[in-house]
Structure 1
């Protein structure tokens, strides 16, 4: 059965996985990013999760509420109690981000949740109507997305406190 699942997975899914692993390995190293580039992975992961929820459970569903609660709770926790990875970049308009393996772990978690949900629904479509399945899947996606969004917010707040330039070229002083 595993062989059938893997061979029936579209090639683009493996390309997405390779891209996520590549970006996760890059995130493990210290690097300088613009504010716009800081947004890429959190926004991409948000789009992947919301696309999965919309196509499999609907955006106006209890599943979406589970995602919202999970994302909101973790985002607030990360913003309030998490540490920022941001520091002043060498070039104007850049932020120095400390490397971490956490983004790779979160990206792989989101990919795995989406993949397992898609396989489970392909094998047993009636699961889409089971509230426990939808709540668990979407709640887990929300926790992962909330972690990305909370870290992004903490990094943006920290970078503004040290007076870095924003994308529009204006200096922001806290």
Structure 2
């Protein structure tokens, strides 16, 4: 129990704030809602920024972490494009009407947990640090790629649905 406690208290406060925000957004996404397009882009932008911030240019002794990031981003980008969440557009207000779904909460928790686990492993065990760095970069690249793809799909669908009026 002391080990878990030490991990929790050494986690930076911003991580808990991000976790709370992602859970809150996931719970809100379980209910149907009407939102402006810019609000639909907040979580993708957070995950894209988090994914890109983990690249670590100039901090690597070899290229494998960057290669892992790029490959994972390229693999998951098309997945994000072909798996957009459904929505309709209110043509009078331009707002998005989204049905409720637990998928956003599940996705947020999976991505957060994977990123958090890799961060903890790389901070604790120096012998596993190299593999954790590569795995972390792959997770970050996959996250950024998926959300870049889903953002592209969302914006294209919004533009198409808005023009249908």
After TM superposition, the score normalised by the length of structure 2 is: 0.78
> Paired residue for 1:51?
53
Q: CA deviation at 1:42?
A: 0.4
Q: Provide the alpha-carbon RMSD of the alignment.
A: 2.9
Q: Which structure 2 residue ranges, 5 or more long, are not aligned?
A: none
Instruction: Tell whether the 8 Å contact from 2:121 to 2:132 is kept in structure 1 after alignment.
Output: no
> Paired residue for 2:153?
154
> Paired residue for 2:36?
34
> Paired residue for 2:19?
17
Q: Secondary structure at the match of 2:96?
A: strand
Q: CA deviation at 1:55?
A: 8.1
Q: How many residues align?
A: 162
Cα distance in 2 between the residues matched to 1:57 and 1:96: 43
**Deviation string, structure 1 residues 137-167 (Cα, Å, up to 9, x no partner):** 22223333333333332222222222x1xxx
**Deviation string, structure 1 residues 3-51 (Cα, Å, up to 9, x no partner):** 2212222333222211111011112222222222221110111112222
Instruction: Tell whether the 8 Å contact from 1:67 to 1:141 is kept in structure 2 after alignment.
Output: yes
Q: Secondary structure at the match of 1:150?
A: helix
Q: Secondary structure at the match of 1:32?
A: strand
Q: CA deviation at 1:84?
A: 4.4
Considering Cα pairs closer than 8 Å and 6+ residues apart, tell me whether 1 or 2 has the greater RCO: 2
> Paired residue for 1:62?
64
**Deviation string, structure 1 residues 77-109 (Cα, Å, up to 9, x no partner):** 332x43541211265232222332222222222
Instruction: Tell whether the 8 Å contact from 2:54 to 2:140 is kept in structure 1 after alignment.
Output: no
Q: CA deviation at 1:2?
A: 1.6
Cα distance in 1 between the residues matched to 2:34 and 2:159: 15
Cα distance in 2 between the residues matched to 1:148 and 1:36: 15
Structure 1 residues 50, 83: CA separation in 2 closer, same or farther (over 3 Å shift)?
closer
Cα distance in 2 between the residues matched to 1:31 and 1:68: 35
Tell me if 1:6 matches 2:38. no
Q: How does 1:85-100 map to 2 (within 5 A)?
A: 85-89=86-90, 91-100=92-101
